[in-house]
Amino acid sequence: MRSITWYVADRRERGICLDCLDEDVSVGRDHYLRREWAHVETAVCRKHRCMLQDWCDHCFARDRFRFECIEEEARLICGHCSTAVSGGRKKVEGTATVDFLLLLTAAVDAAIEGRESSVALDEIKVAIETLWSPSQANGKPFIAWFDLKLPLGRLPAFAARGNPLVCLSFPWRIVTFMAVAQLLDLAQARRWLGPPPSYLERELANRKRNSLPQDAETPHSVGILETAPKLRLRPDIEYHQLAEQILASQDWKAISAVKGSLRDRKLGRLMNQALRSERGRSDVPRPTGP
């Protein structure tokens, strides 16, 4: 049973499938909104295997669809240019992306509905909270550092409390679930997105310890502290060397002209690559101390 918090509250932020609506017309019935389109995790129409759409094909206005009666039939129209929604469009997403999003949607749906053998819904909640909490780097939410195709425009403000999905637009919800998939390895996400940044896995582990239900009698006891993954910091000189390597690299020269969030993401990717390629070395046992 799905609770109300896993439905998109604002109808304007729900995606629609033009092919489904065209089918309504072809069989002579009113346009109607499918229930699945209101689920927070729905990105793709299962029947037509296309991405849902939250903008008008004619004027590109976003989230402005409304119903109107045209020749005695209910039709969804664009509130901006008043064109009735129709015309299944050219599919732009590759089949691999569609397959992945369908698998992911099914996995999240199973968790929300509490079906057996699904990932725990609490895990998904904590992952979403982690992604939308401010990072120490510059206060931007962690998701801004992900190596995913992020929606254009301003980054939504992070939600301090409650489910951030409630106030996210359709494109941001999709990106959030893709990042969750990478963090929790849902729908075999890591196979083609690669592993998530290691600092984010640590952040997730910290949050899990604090927010998932624990034994009420052992609040932050020694036992819990001992099982915490140790943050293995390295000497400052190593970070300094890594930074110098990045600054001297061709990759950095190529992105130093880029601005805004794209640059942040590319820089994040360089930092992750550097830390990951160093990780192999630092796993070798070595004498402790200065």
Q: Which is nearer to Zn ion, 18 or 255 (CB)?
A: 18
Stretch 60-99: interaction string toward Zn ion, x if CB under 5 A: -x----------------x-xx------------------
Backbone angles phi, psi at 269, to 5 degrees: -65, -40
* Min dist. Cβ of residue 154 to Zn ion (A): 22
58 lies in the binding site for Zn ion (CB under 5 A): yes
Cα gap 168→105, rounded to integer Å:
17
48 lies in the binding site for Zn ion (CB under 5 A): yes
242, two tokens: 């890594």
* Min dist. Cβ of residue 23 to Zn ion (A): 7
- 3 state DSSP class of 35: helix
Residue with tokens 């951030």: 164
17 lies in the binding site for Zn ion (CB under 5 A): yes
240, two tokens: 């300094």
* Min dist. Cβ of residue 17 to Zn ion (A): 3
How many angstroms separate the Cα of 240 from the Cα of each of 236, 246, 255? 6, 10, 20
Q: Which is nearer to Zn ion, 20 or 107 (CB)?
A: 20
Cα gap 192→174, rounded to integer Å:
16
59 lies in the binding site for Zn ion (CB under 5 A): yes
279 lies in the binding site for Zn ion (CB under 5 A): no
Cα gap 103→110, rounded to integer Å:
11
Site residues for Zn ion per CB under 5 A: 17, 19-20, 45, 47-48, 56, 58-59, 61, 78, 80-81
